[in-house]
Amino acid sequence: MTNPLTLAPAPRSGAAERVRGEVRDFLAEELAAGTFSTHVDTWLSGVDPEFSRKLGARGWLGMTWPKEYGGHERTAMERYAVTEELLAAGAPVAAHWIADRQSGPNLLRYGTEAQRREILPRIARGECYFVIGMSEPDSGSDLASIRTKATRNEAGDWVVNGAKVWTSNAHASHYGIVLVRTAPVDTANRHAGMSQLLIDLSLPGITINPIRILDGGHHFNEVVFEDVVIPRDMLLGTEGDGWHQVTAELAFERSGPERFLSTYPLVAEFGRRVVDSGDPAALAVLGRLSARLLALRQMSLRIAAALDRGELPNIPAALVKDVGTTFEADVIDEIRRVVDVLPSLDSPDPLARALAEAQLHAPGYTLRGGTNEILRGIVARGLGLR
């Protein structure tokens, strides 16, 4: 029997290394010009529309998409190199991140021709941003228990009522792909009767309530829908097929390098600090973290290559997200034990600032994108263990 966790190695790519060099040069210039500063977890907390537009102008968004929709028809390995360098630099990429990572591919797979032509070129230019409308206040990681409903009105349009939560950067985004119930719950099949709607977040009846994190920052939100009328042509994919579509989308969400590079700026600063220190304890930590990071990178690269081949490696993606976000939390504990540094957001010491940022963002690492417990259940089921 084929092991669902076994994936072919990612191919080596000279084109990917060339674009990696271009991105590094660009980032060095931007840092030198002071247009951004390095921070931890910027793929969720670093909203900078101007920076996103710069990336779009260089052809670094929508990289793998067809040219007819504003894309550039480059390989997944080239895109991986770009995203990896942006994350490693702690660049402010949150504005476009969700749209480029999963909303665009979702539209390519399930969207109508009109939806694709209207929205995809704007995403590729860095001008259109998306949120994920999955989790709800009373649902957590159990997506099958969602209660947000969409019913038809007399004109045939959808009327949406309910709420979504942890919707990162909804206050700065244009659209959400929202999972709703379009049919009553079937106790024999809880996954039936769900659909995805493409919702313009500026529509009447939508309220976006901020949820502050520990450092006072705002990227999480609650989005409330009260009799929101959605045009009938904004159904994404097939009515009733929302569960299948959402699980396919999660492969993009869970497997990328952001699932283990959120705290990389902290690792990099720690490495610069201790590499020549001669401190055996600190060097041992650096070695352990480096080894785990390299292993995670290989796993993630293989999933990127599988997605490029048109596969949907849901089980390996769940595993990478579980192991990767566990690593992100371990980075903090490993480093703080061997450095004599007081974490502080106001410190002039970049290591102290990075450690403080990582600690304050840490509660979300193993929650967003599915809790580790849910992910391990997905892997166990895929392996036939439950």
253 is catalytic: yes
Q: What is the mean pLDDT of residues 65-86?
A: 95
Q: Which residue has the higher pLDDT, 188 or 62?
A: 62
Given a cut of 80, whether residue 369 has pLDDT beyond it is no
State the pLDDT at residue 201. Answer: 98
Q: Which tens digit of pLDDT belongs to each residue from 90-138?
A: 999 999 999 999 999 999 999 999 999 999 999 999 999 999 999 999 8
State phi, psi for 81 to the nearest 5 degrees: -60, -40
pLDDT band at residue 140 using 50, 70 and 90 as cut-offs: low
Given a cut of 60, whether residue 315 has pLDDT beyond it is yes
State the pLDDT at residue 89. Answer: 96
State the pLDDT at residue 256. Answer: 83
State the pLDDT at residue 327. Answer: 93
Average pLDDT, the chain: 92
**Domains, the chain, with CATH or none:** 14-128 (1.10.540.10), 132-241 (2.40.110.10), 248-382 (1.20.140.10)
Q: How many Cβ atoms from other residues are within 10 Å of residue 87's Cβ?
A: 23
Q: What is the mean pLDDT of residues 377-383?
A: 85
Q: Which tens digit of pLDDT belongs to each residue from 144-162?
A: 899 999 999 999 999 999 9
State the pLDDT at residue 50. Answer: 98
State the pLDDT at residue 1. Answer: 43
What percentage of the chain carries pLDDT values higher than 70?
Answer: 99
State the pLDDT at residue 5. Answer: 79
Q: Which residue has the higher pLDDT, 185 or 56?
A: 56
Given a cut of 50, whether residue 229 has pLDDT beyond it is yes
pLDDT band at residue 2 using 50, 70 and 90 as cut-offs: low
Which listed residue (253, 269, 328, 357) is catalytic? 253
pLDDT band at residue 344 using 50, 70 and 90 as cut-offs: very high
Q: Which of 235, 130, 109, 128 minimizes the C-alpha distance to 176? A: 130
Round to whole Å and give the CA distance between 88 and 77: 16
Q: Which tens digit of pLDDT belongs to each residue from 43-64?
A: 989 999 999 999 999 999 999 9
Q: Which tens digit of pLDDT belongs to each residue from 250-303?
A: 777 777 888 889 999 999 999 999 999 999 999 999 999 999 999 999 999 998
